[in-house]
Amino acid sequence: MTLAFLTTPLLGLVDTAVVGQFGDAALLGGLAAGAVVFDVVFTTFNFLRSGTTGLVAQAFGRGDTLEEQAVFWRAVLVAAIAGLVLAACAPLFSLAGQWFMDAGPRVSETMGTYIHIRMLAAPFSLINYAILGYVLGRGEGNLGLAFQLILNSVNMLLSVVLGLQLGWGVAGVAWGTVGGEITAMLFGLAIVMRRFRAAPSLPRARIFNMAAFVRMMSLNRDIMIRSFSLLAAFALFTRQGAQFDTVTLAANAVLMNLFLIAAYFLDGFATAAEQLAGRAIGARAAAPFRRAVRLTLLWGFGLAGAAALIMLAYGAPLIALITTAPDVRAEADIYLAWAAFTPLSGVLAFQMDGVFIGATWSRDMRNMMLLSFVAFVIGLFMLTPIFANHGLWAALHVFLLTRGLSLFWILRQRMRTAF
């Protein structure tokens, strides 16, 4: 799953590099701003992936194959309805994003183009969340890798062809995403349906069991609040960068791609924690639970340190590869060290998220995320007036550290009572 998740930030890197070849900071800033608006909307619905993973993992731990199927179809039903609503609301999201970012007219125009096209993929994207959640809940990392490779490789290929070779720019990048999401959904549904046909028949009443639906929606509500708070912090980060100037906005967008590469790299172990912790909770097995926590943390910290060193050593050449704009390159080099150390600040947060999602301790995760968001806002208002963009990056580190340490403190209490 580490390899699978790495394809997602590589996609963002390719999209940024495609637009960056035009040498226009306004286009790069518009892509970054549009991606933030899209991510705020869609990561809010990330519960369709993580919530499904936790519930399927616990059913897998109990040996309840019918409940595994039921969880999947409940998630698909919610995904299809929510996706159609989101696609219909694309113009509203575009207007809201332009108002929130408050950037220049060319940045706003580019952002609007990106959002209008990419939001057409909403139903397919959310169904893909449910498919991936089911696969990961069963611990099938190879299948998860294949699914992500198809999704992101088709997306990247189309983005390069449409955005760069045909000269469609940001619109081509957005249409590439739509094509990738549709292709991945068809592949995922074909695999899952073939498996379900060979399994015992699932009664329709099992899917619409109200007690199970209430539990799923309660879990999803808490994860939604958590995800929205996370993306709200990233949106505030991007908006504050836009308030400095367009070059700073573009430089921060380039550096955030480096941060996201490290974050998704570490998410592979967080996903392992989700599945292993969920299976242990479902089987009421304390020793495997503690072992999963210990091993994912050890590996996570080791890889976070390696990622930080690689970013420090090779960050500057990578920045030069992403964008041809000399002013953006120079600005990004100034703040490279801040981005390079984000894996170490964030590793505990990523791993603890995985444990809490797998155990479905969603209320604690929600509350600690809200606490961390408050800490980020305080850091934003205290540090940026004094240190400008350096203060903005420092506030991001405060956010990551608060998330990890607060969840780790809660975990010690939860483990005393869970088993």
**Helices 2-20 and 246-283, packing angle to 10 deg:** 170
For residues 26 and 205, which has the higher predicted lDDT (pLDDT)?
205
pLDDT, tens digit, 9 for 90 and up, residues 138-163: 988 889 889 888 988 888 888 888 88
CB 345 within 8 A of CB 204: no
pLDDT of 12 above 70 = no
User: pLDDT tens, 133-143?
Assistant: 999 999 888 89
Query: How confident is the model at residue 343, as a pLDDT?
Result: 94
Tell me the pLDDT of the chain averaged across its residues.
Answer: 86
For 232-272, how does the pLDDT look when each residue is reduced to its tens digit (9 = 90+)? 898 889 888 888 888 888 899 889 888 887 887 788 888 88
- Residues 40-76: pLDDT tens digits? 777 778 888 888 998 999 999 888 889 999 999 999 9
Percent of the chain beyond pLDDT 90? 38
Token pair for residue 366? 């929600």
pLDDT by residue (tens digit) across 265-324? 788 888 889 889 999 998 889 999 999 999 999 999 998 999 999 999 999 998 988 777
Q: Give the separation between CA 409 and CA 371, rounded to whole angstroms.
A: 13
Residue 55, CA atoms < 13 Å, CB-side half-sphere? 31
pLDDT tens digits along 182-225: 999 999 999 999 988 887 888 888 888 888 888 888 888 898 88
User: Which band of pLDDT confidence, cut at 50, 70 and 90, is reported for residue 13?
Assistant: low
In the block, residue with structure tokens 């739509």? 178
137 contact partners, CB below 8 Å, separation of at least 6: 52, 53, 54, 55, 56, 57, 59, 60, 68, 71, 274, 275, 278
Structure tokens at 341: 């150390």
Question: What's the pLDDT at 351?
Answer: 92
3-state secondary structure of 19: helix
Cα 6 to Cα 153: distance, rounded to the nearest angstrom: 12
Q: Best-predicted range by mean pLDDT among 2-11, 22-31, 233-242, 292-301?
A: 292-301
DSSP 368-394: HHHHHHHHHHHHHHHHHHHHTHHHHHH
- Position 10 scores a pLDDT of 59
Q: Would you state the structure tokens that stand for residue 265, as one six-digit string?
A: 């790299």
Helices 105-118 and 90-101 pack at an angle, to 10 degrees, of: 150
**pLDDT the model gives residue 389:** 93
pLDDT of residue 246: 83
412 Cβ partners below 8 Å, 6+ apart? none
Q: How far is CA 348 from CA 108, 121, 269, 319, in A?
A: 36, 32, 11, 27
Among residues 4, 388, 37, which one has the least CA distance to residue 188? 4
> Residue 323 in contact with residue 16, Cβ under 8 Å?
yes
Provide CB contacts within 8 A for 56, sequence distance 6+.
68, 71, 72, 133, 134, 136, 137, 138, 278
The answer to whether 148 touches 8, Cβ cutoff 8 Å, is yes
State residue 302's pLDDT score.
Answer: 92
Arithmetic mean of pLDDT, 9-32: 69
**How far apart (Å, rounded) are the C-alpha atoms in residues 80 and 350?**
28
The encoded tokens of residue 139 equal 């611990």
Q: Answer for the pair 239, 101: CB distance below 8 angstroms, yes or no.
A: yes
Please report, in angstroms and rounded to a whole number, the separation of the first and last CA atoms in the chain. 28
Rounded Cα–Cα distance for residues 172 and 17 (Å): 13
Distance CA 203, CA 370 (A): 39
Predicted model pTM? 0.77
Identify whether the C-beta of residue 51 lies closer than 8 Å to the C-beta of residue 220: yes
